[in-house]
């Protein structure tokens, strides 16, 4: 070998080593978020990951034993991720004495079933209350003060104004994150962490303890004013209106800056919860920097602050949360209401990827999952109470008869198809070429979306029923463009799909062919060609209510004519 070829050989070896070490570094990096095109994606072991999740009931993960038969059931439903609480009282039952045996048992259970975990830190708050704080915290009112009502009575809510509560919560959370780093640094079983759960105050719109009253009368923190000024053009409308209606002041008390309406109390509490949670999240991230988020309980129509969780990361307060809690990567809605598209849309914003940690399951959940991934580039979706449908929160899903409980067979079916489509969905979320349509209730007859050169209309079949407007009447379809004139379509519910175009040239869209396809050994295999009665002699694609359960997707090819 002459000197030149020796040099070239050395360079090739060096390049190979650099590539190998780069890809090793990528796959050993902790789960994190990355922007790909217009989507923000969760990266796990060097690759984008679509969270097909489910959240277990609040107390399930307090017992490793209880979870043993649950894990394989969830894996069989094609979940890839389980959202589960880890409580402050479980890991720090006595002050300063940490016990991670529950955490280790949960990691083991998940790994044995090839599942990932999202940890829900039930620290100082769970649904505004403090039921998961350790007994040594609960019972010491002097050291750990509570939120107070206007008449001076206490509530069982730790005060977000207390530095004692905050610092001990943050210390325990940091210990948990340090433990996860040590126990999980190679396996990446834990993907993300939710910090606290559905915070806020009820039944009044703000804390009336002496310290809270004093803060309410003090100046709005200059850092928040600075944020408002810098982000004025893109502030959420409710916040911008409140600020501008009070003359967009650059200093003053909360009521001077935002007006003396109940919403101002909500903004004030949002700042307080967010600054507190920032300290907790930052302490955790300094040990192990997994993506972290906070979740919100949403608002029923016409409810005022205090009737709902005042101070939570609700759409109208997202700017306040962003300004106060930069260690949180995003904010998430718990969507049990039937207006899924509205609520999900308010969280799928630039700088805030959509992740739905709690949602209705059953047929409604299946449709909402297709919509979230296809239309809103969601990083994940997760029906609540996935381990036991018999405990579903009936009142929240508008059901009074237990026989009508959501049946999670629909989630199993949706996740089976979504797990097959996941690589394509992730690719198209980043590069474009994906959308979805959703019909919410009988009254909504049709929805039109646009993809490539085509308008796609999803429409109900048959006449409107006046009586039935329930979530189970929800229909959705996801559309993935595989070539300029070719789409993969998967649907939840019964509907028909037609295609048209506004593009100049050939104005009429014809269906060249529709093939039903099934995923077999990692490939989409065509079976019947459906060009006759099944699809109105080629005039529309008909979705059947059984499509997801049967694992059927459609490959549609279009052409144009005059």
Q: Which residues of this protein are in contact with ligand DGJ, per CB under 6 A?
A: 58, 127, 197-198, 334, 358, 384, 393, 396
Supply the minimum distance, in Å, between the C-beta of residue 337 and ligand DGJ. Answer: 12
CA dihedral for 386, 389, 390, 396, sign (positive or negative): positive
The CA distance from 518 to 528, in Å, is: 10
Q: CB nearer to ligand DGJ: give 340 or 384.
A: 384
Q: CB nearer to ligand DGJ: give 39 or 270.
A: 270
Supply the minimum distance, in Å, between the C-beta of residue 514 and ligand DGJ. Answer: 41
Supply the minimum distance, in Å, between the C-beta of residue 118 and ligand DGJ. Answer: 13
Query: Measuring CA to CA, which residue among 201, 193, 259, 251 is closest to residue 225?
Result: 251
Supply the minimum distance, in Å, between the C-beta of residue 205 and ligand DGJ. Answer: 20
Q: CB nearer to ligand DGJ: give 265 or 358.
A: 358
Supply the minimum distance, in Å, between the C-beta of residue 397 and ligand DGJ. Answer: 9
The CA distance from 427 to 417, in Å, is: 16
Nearest-CB residue for ligand DGJ: 393
The CA distance from 358 to 343, in Å, is: 12
Q: CB nearer to ligand DGJ: give 125 or 454.
A: 125
Q: CB nearer to ligand DGJ: give 9 or 396.
A: 396
**Helix/strand/coil for 548:** helix
Q: CB nearer to ligand DGJ: give 59 or 140.
A: 59
Q: CB nearer to ligand DGJ: give 199 or 514.
A: 199
Supply the minimum distance, in Å, between the C-beta of residue 497 and ligand DGJ. Answer: 34
The CA distance from 539 to 66, in Å, is: 52
Identify whether the C-beta of residue 350 lies closer than 8 Å to the C-beta of residue 381. no
Supply the minimum distance, in Å, between the C-beta of residue 70 and ligand DGJ. Answer: 16
Query: Measuring CA to CA, which residue among 518, 507, 519, 509 is closest to residue 541?
Result: 509
Supply the minimum distance, in Å, between the C-beta of residue 321 and ligand DGJ. Answer: 17
Q: CB nearer to ligand DGJ: give 334 or 420.
A: 334
Q: CB nearer to ligand DGJ: give 60 or 80.
A: 60
Supply the minimum distance, in Å, between the C-beta of residue 343 and ligand DGJ. Answer: 14
Q: Which residues of 265-285 are buried (b: 16+ CB within 10 A; e: fewer)?
A: bbbbbbbbbbbbbbbbbbbbb
The CA distance from 332 to 194, in Å, is: 9
Residue 366 CB neighbours (<10 A) = 31
137, 139, 142, 147: CA torsion to nearest 10 = 80
Q: What is the 3-state secondary structure (H, E, C) of 292-310?
A: EEEEEECCCCCCCECCECE
> Burial level of 237, CB count in 10 A (0-12/13-18/19+)?
exposed
End-to-end C-alpha distance for the chain, whole angstroms:
68
Name the residue with tokens 């039930």: 122
**Helix/strand/coil for 98:** coil
């Amino acid at each position: 070998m002459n000197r030149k070829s020796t040099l070239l050989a050395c360079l090739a070896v060096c390049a190979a080593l650099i590539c190998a070490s780069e890809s090793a570094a990528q796959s050993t990096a902790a789960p994190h978020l990355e922007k790909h095109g217009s989507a923000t994606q969760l990266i796990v072991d060097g690759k984008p990951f679509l969270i097909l999740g489910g959240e277990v009931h609040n107390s399930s993960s307090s017992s490793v034993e209880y979870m043993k038969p649950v894990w394989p059931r969830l894996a069989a439903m094609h979940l890839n991720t389980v959202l589960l609480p880890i409580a402050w009282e479980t890991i720090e039952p006595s002050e300063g004495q940490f016990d991670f045996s529950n955490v280790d048992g949960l990691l083991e259970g998940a790994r044995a079933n090839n599942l990932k975990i999202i940890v829900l830190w039930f620290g100082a708050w769970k649904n505004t209350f403090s039921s998961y704080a350790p007994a040594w915290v609960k019972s010491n009112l002097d050291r750990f003060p509570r939120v107070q009502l206007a008449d001076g009575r206490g509530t069982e809510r730790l005060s977000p104004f207390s530095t004692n509560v905050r610092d001990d919560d943050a210390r325990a959370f940091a210990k948990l994150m340090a433990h996860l780093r040590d126990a999980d640094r190679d396996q990446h079983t834990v993907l993300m962490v939710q910090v606290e759960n559905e915070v806020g105050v009820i039944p009044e719109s703000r804390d009336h303890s002496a310290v809270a009253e004093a803060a309410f009368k003090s100046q709005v923190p200059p850092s928040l004013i600075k944020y408002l000024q810098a982000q004025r053009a893109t502030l959420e409308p409710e916040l911008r209106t409140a600020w501008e209606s009070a003359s967009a002041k650059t200093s003053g008390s909360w009521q001077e800056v935002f007006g003396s309406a109940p919403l101002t109390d909500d903004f004030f509490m949002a700042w307080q919860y967010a600054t507190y949670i920032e300290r907790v999240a930052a302490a955790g991230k300094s040990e192990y920097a997994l993506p972290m988020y906070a979740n919100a309980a949403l608002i029923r129509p016409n409810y005022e602050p205090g009737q709902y969780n005042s101070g939570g990361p609700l759409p109208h307060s997202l700017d306040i949360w962003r300004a106060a809690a930069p260690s949180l990567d995003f904010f998430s809605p718990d969507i049990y209401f039937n207006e899924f598209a509205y609520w999900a849309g308010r969280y799928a914003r630039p700088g805030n990827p959509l992740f739905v940690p709690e949602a209705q399951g059953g047929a409604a959940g299946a449709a909402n999952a297709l919509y979230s991934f296809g239309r809103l580039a969601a990083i994940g979706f997760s029906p609540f109470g996935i381990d036991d449908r018999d405990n579903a929160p009936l009142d929240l899903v508008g059901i009074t008869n237990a026989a009508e409980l959501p049946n999670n067979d629909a989630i199993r079916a949706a996740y089976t198809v979504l797990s097959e489509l996941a690589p394509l969905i992730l690719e198209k979320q980043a590069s474009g070429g994906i959308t979805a349509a959703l019909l919410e209730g009988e009254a909504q007859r049709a929805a039109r979306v646009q993809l490539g050169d085509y308008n796609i209309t999803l429409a109900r079949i048959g006449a409107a029923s006046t009586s039935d407007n329930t979530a189970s009447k929800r229909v959705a379809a996801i559309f993935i463009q595989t070539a300029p004139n070719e789409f993969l379509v998967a649907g939840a519910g019964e509907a028909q799909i037609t295609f048209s175009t506004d593009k100049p040239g050939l104005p009429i869209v014809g269906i060249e062919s529709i093939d039903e396809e099934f995923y077999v050994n990692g490939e989409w295999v065509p079976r019947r060609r459906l060009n006759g009665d099944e699809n109105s002699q080629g005039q529309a694609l008909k979705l059947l209510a059984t499509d997801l359960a049967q694992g059927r997707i459609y490959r549609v090819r279009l052409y144009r004519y005059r």
